[in-house]
Amino acid sequence: MNVQQSIPPLPVIAVVGATGAVGIEIINCLESRDVPVGELRLLASARSAGQHLPFRGSDVLVQELTERSFDGCNIVFFSAGASVSRKYAPLAVAAGAVVVDNSSAFRMDPNVPLIVPEANGGTIAPHAGIIANPNCVAAIATTALAPLQRCWAITRLNMVTYQSASGAGAAAMDELRQATAAAVNEEPFEQQIMPHPMAFNLFSHNAEIDPETGYNGEETKVIAETRRILGLPRLPVGITCVRVPVLRAHSIALSVRFDGFVSPESVRDKLSNAPGVRVVDDIENNHFPMPCEASGIEDVLVGRIRTDLIDPTGQTIAMFISGDQLLKGAALNAVQIAENLLAQQVTSQAA
């Protein structure tokens, strides 16, 4: 199928995985951003069905996800893992909905646009009913990189991450809190969710590693998705993904090489006017992006903008960024994609 589904002005919107960390933030974003919603349908596994979640002053019942859940839906957010998306997203499309998929299931499918609105929102159409929401690191990084790429060609990229527990879901956030409470009370604690202790510790990202390359699945995803979002399929990307004891914001040390000299001042200037970006680069007060200030806000914080001394030609800029993993790294970006779909609908109906 290769059609643009028609979306009414007050759409029926469903959220699959509504009770998860990202699902709850999708509901919050729909509310806080005043997205027009005719009906909100909350879907989850049988285990989570029966709960109620607040939305615009009402309590909405969470229903069990079934093959018939999508009747009458216009937009369906999926945030319940790749296998649920693979099984149910085609059913949602067949029922006439547009899917915004937060899983990795379709991100590298050439028929599925992979969208960060600030970076490549213009490529959302044509689509075949599914729009993919990127990996959190790729979404946060490209929000800061795209405004630069519009001015100067990026020729090399290095990313070293400080990734929060939220990337592994609400259970991992709980485990970080519990493990840390046990540590400060000098009590024993046995982790169940993460493979390694989280309290006052950090570790290489727990995604499976390709023994051929030595890169883990998270790193491989970030490389492929960053290249795809930036439209630079051959960009050399170095990456190290690390989990740190932080609750819900990812930070990334970025090093970006351009095809000519670029000054830190010009980068700071471009980013100061970029959507979705807030420059926090106060050298005098040693105040730069921090997870505690990035958490709960929509903008990606960018600072430590300086010439990277690794490159004596002055063509490389180093930066440090922090972004809310659940917002720009997941729910907010998904809701922004839906807003783009709604806006295009308005445009095409006006035309």
Residues near a copy of itself, by CB under 8 A: 156-158, 160, 162, 176-177, 180-181, 183-185, 195-197, 200-204, 206, 208-209, 211, 213-216, 223, 236-240, 242, 244-247, 251, 253, 255, 264, 283-284, 286-288, 290-292, 303-312, 316, 318, 320
Q: Is 304 annotated as belonging to a binding site? A: no
Query: In whole angstroms, how close is the CB of 270 to a copy of itself at the nearest point?
Result: 16
Query: In whole angstroms, how close is the CB of 325 to a copy of itself at the nearest point?
Result: 13
Q: Which is nearer to a copy of itself, 2 or 185 (CB)?
A: 185
For residue 233, is the peptide bond before it cis, meaning its omega torsion is within 30 degrees of 0?
A: no
Q: Which is nearer to a copy of itself, 122 or 195 (CB)?
A: 195
Q: Is 348 annotated as belonging to a binding site? A: no
φ and ψ of 104, to 5 deg: -85, 0
Q: Which is nearer to a copy of itself, 149 or 307 (CB)?
A: 307
Active-site residue among 136, 205, 287, 292?
Answer: 136
Separation CA 256–CA 27 (nearest Å): 35
Separation CA 178–CA 65 (nearest Å): 30
Q: Is 280 annotated as belonging to a binding site? A: no
Q: Is 130 strand, coil or helix?
A: strand
Q: Which is nearer to a copy of itself, 84 or 157 (CB)?
A: 157
Q: Which is nearer to a copy of itself, 80 or 317 (CB)?
A: 317
Q: Is 22 annotated as belonging to a binding site? A: yes
Query: In whole angstroms, how close is the CB of 256 to a copy of itself at the nearest point?
Result: 11
Paired sense of beta strands 154-162 and 249-258, if any: antiparallel
Q: Which ranges of the chain would DSSP assign to H, the alpha helix?
A: 21-32, 82-94, 117-120, 136-149, 170-184, 217-230, 264-272, 291-294, 332-350
The DSSP letter of residue 42 is E
Q: Which is nearer to a copy of itself, 87 or 196 (CB)?
A: 196
Separation CA 193–CA 182 (nearest Å): 16
Q: Is 19 annotated as belonging to a binding site? A: yes
Q: Is 322 annotated as belonging to a binding site? A: no
Q: In what order do the strands lie in the sheet with 237-240?
A: 237-240, 154-162, 249-258, 316-324, 300-307, 277-279
Say if residues 41 and 12 touch (Cβ distance below 8 Å): yes
Query: In whole angstroms, how close is the CB of 17 to a copy of itself at the nearest point?
Result: 25
Separation CA 151–CA 317 (nearest Å): 14
Query: In whole angstroms, how close is the CB of 147 to a copy of itself at the nearest point?
Result: 19
CA end-to-end span of the chain, whole Å?
Answer: 23
Active-site residue among 29, 73, 205, 250?
Answer: 250
Query: In whole angstroms, how close is the CB of 161 to a copy of itself at the nearest point?
Result: 9
- 136 is annotated as an active-site residue: yes
CA distances from 339 to 7, 37, 219, 332 (A): 11, 11, 29, 10
Say if residues 320 and 251 touch (Cβ distance below 8 Å): yes
Q: Is 323 annotated as belonging to a binding site? A: no
Which residues belong to the annotated binding site for substrate?
Answer: 163, 243
Q: Write out the catalytic residue numbers.
A: 136, 250
Which residues belong to the annotated binding site for phosphate?
Answer: 107
